[in-house]
Structure 1
């Protein structure tokens, strides 16, 4: 090889060593990091290629190498099976291909090519962009007229910086600006405040979280209740409660009325039975008439005794000491024997008692003769 060609290769190596580019790719995508050289023209059998990664660690890590006719690409566990040479490295293209990018793939990559005492290197900065995660939307506050609420949106992961914006979706599904009462929190654009709510604030609110890699969004619904609705609801509730109370009162009064009527029907026969005791006492009255007849009969017997006083004087003297037996004594004994319970008079026995002659003392007969 002439001295001119060697000088040319040295100048190219110097230029390539100073070249440094930057690549930005989204996570899960593929990327090809370029590395072109001319050292394959020197000694094809002594060609040596090496890719290094300098990330947050102190020491660079080997990604892939070609040496002695063999390829080695299993140095890092995180990149194992995802790195390879993109083209024919033996013809001057040692570009590196990384598939299914991950955030850990980001860093400073260096391509080193050596051959016959000559070398070339290329520096490439790779940034793996991760789009925001699906944000979460929520609301805080009381959804009624005159009150204050806040809407918030947050994405937990993604390449910084993440920006947030809000839009309102009307009833037709079209996006528009926020209502006049809405104000964005300047220190935290993911939050907006709405004061002195009116029913016009009702609707859907769309939050968009975005960065260089892409965007994600979420929707929160706001339903402002009008003030008069509370009065209507309260009135309806009072009406229902009052109606139920009235029904309960009517049922209660009906039950009480039926119980009272049943009680009166059960007490009526008892009152009649108590009044029926009087006729039992009147059953003794015929005894008084019998006593009257007994007195008249006794008077007639006395008259007959006066007429026959001469023949019965001896009998009269013998019976003066005998106490007079009245017809009413058996009835009193019977009443005392039965606990003062009235007893029906047996008229047959009464007639026998009346037929028995009454012994009148002689002194009485003397008065009767006079």
Structure 2
């Protein structure tokens, strides 16, 4: 009986302790509305709410700690901002330095909320607000998703812009948090897409099959996600198909004309070459076959007679006596003597380059004469 009484008294004591701890723990409470996820665009600001209330039994120092929880259990959580000893430490986390602040100038009044400005995509993650005031401890978690709005998309067309061909209109935004959605619309000519157009909202394309002239016009593409939208404009001009037969005929004619021009140039070059060769041959034949002119003999004869007379007129009496002793000078040679030399003596060369000495000419019966100097035209110098 005594052992049973001790067990009952021990159980009552434990119940009293549990009720006491429960009463102490229930003094500190976080009163903010439950919000598990927040989505914001990059560059914007966000308020992470954390309101709390204290009980009279919470008499210890107040500590408030905001941390960014690591997605990997092997890594430590990163403390973003801290309040301890009635002092705020807002530059505690270097990547958010100058961008995170307490919402209240005095957080101990029950407002542990923080404001985060200039959001970046790297700010995404799970944040935890922890409030400590002995003996109570309370915490709250929330997910922040920083989304990047779509960048201005680029619109362009692929394929031949001709009637009867398939044309693909593409719209691409290189930045933006997925999922991105694309939509196309025609902004001219009734604002109705061609009946044969097939649109892909995920890939951002619109395929216009068997395009006709009515497909021409202005088109607008809009890229959007949950935090923003951007658009681009494209003008499509569908033209009739080209005259393929005319293009081929024109190409053939152009090739033929080029070949004719080349052939004409080659013909002219060959003809000029043959003409130059023919003129060179004719010039060589003239130099070898044409005999020297005979005008020199008659000219020499006429000048010889005149020169003898002039020489006789200029002689002195002593010279006349010596000249009279020479009978070979009394006879004036005839033209036949100049034109036909003695048969025993060979004819001199036509050009008169080789000349016999005076004694040999006297032995052969030649008469020395004085010939005046002449220029090329035959006149006396």
TM-score of the superposed pair, with normalisation by structure 2: 0.56
State which of 55, 65, 83 in structure 2 corresponds to 1:50. 65
Tell me the equivalent position of 2:149: 131
Deviation at 1:231, TM superposition (A): 6.6
Contact 2:131–2:139 under 8 Å retained in 1:
yes
Aligned to 1:348: none
CA shift digits 1:28-55 (9 cap, x unpaired) = 0111111111228666871111112124
The 5-angstrom pairing of residues 1-370 of structure 1 reads 11=26, 13=28, 16=31, 19-39=34-54, 46-58=61-73, 59-87=76-104, 88-170=106-188, 176-185=191-200, 188-228=202-242
| More helix as a share of residues | 1
Contact kept? 2:27, 2:57, Cα under 8 Å: no
How far the C-alpha of 1:94 sits from its partner, in A, is: 1.1
Deviation of the 1:145 alpha carbon? 2.0
Q: Could you tell me how far apart the structure 2 residues matched to 1:130 and 1:86 are?
A: 25
The secondary structure found in structure 1 opposite 2:52 is coil
- Structure-2 separation of matches of 1:114 and 1:237: 89
Mapped to 2, the partners of 1:57 and 1:26 lie a distance apart of 25
Task: Give the CA deviation at 1:115.
Answer: 1.4
Q: Distance in 2 between matches of 1:12 and 1:79?
A: 33
Partner of 2:162, secondary structure, is: coil
* C-alpha distance in structure 2 between counterparts of 1:206 and 1:20, whole Å: 38
Secondary structure of the corresponding residue to residue 194 of structure 2: coil
Structure 1 pair 221–109 and aligned structure 2 pair: CA distance change class (3 A): same
Q: Within 1, Cα distance between the matches of 2:147 and 2:56?
A: 38
Q: Which runs of 5+ in 2 are unaligned?
A: 1-20, 264-293, 295-339, 351-381
Inter-CA distance 41–62: structure 2 relative to 1 (3 Å threshold): farther
- Aligned-pair distance for 1:9? 8.6
Number of positions where the alignment pairs a residue of Structure 1 with one of Structure 2: 283
| CA RMSD between the two structures | 4.9
Query: What displacement does 1:148 show?
Result: 1.9
Deviation at 1:225, TM superposition (A): 2.2
In the alignment, the residues of structure 1 paired with residue 33 and residue 153 of structure 2 have an alpha-carbon distance, to the nearest angstrom, of 42
In 1, distance between residues paired with 2:63 and 2:115? 18
Q: C-alpha separation between the residues in 2 aligned to 1:133 and 1:16? A: 39
Q: Which of these two proteins has the greater Rg computed from alpha carbons? A: 1
Render the CA deviation track for 1:262-282: whole Å, top value 9, x for unaligned.
xxxxxxxxxxxxxxxxxx9xx
CA distance in structure 2 between the aligned counterparts of 1:208 and 1:191, rounded to whole angstroms = 11
Cα shift readout 1:70-127 (whole Å, capped 9, x = no counterpart)? 2223333211221110113121111111010111112221111111311232222212
Task: Give the Cα–Cα distance (whole angstroms) in 1 for the partners of residues 186 and 22 of structure 2.
Answer: 66
Q: Which deviates more, 225-234 or 214-223?
A: 225-234
Q: Once the two structures are superposed, what CA deviation does each residue of 1:133-169 show, in whole Å capped at 9, x if it has no partner?
A: 2223333222222222222222233221111111123
| SS at structure 2 position matched to 1:218 | strand
- Structure 1 residues 9 and 206: alpha-carbon distance in aligned structure 2, compared to 1, 3 A threshold: farther
**Match of 2:9?**
none
Q: TM-score, normalised by structure 1?
A: 0.57
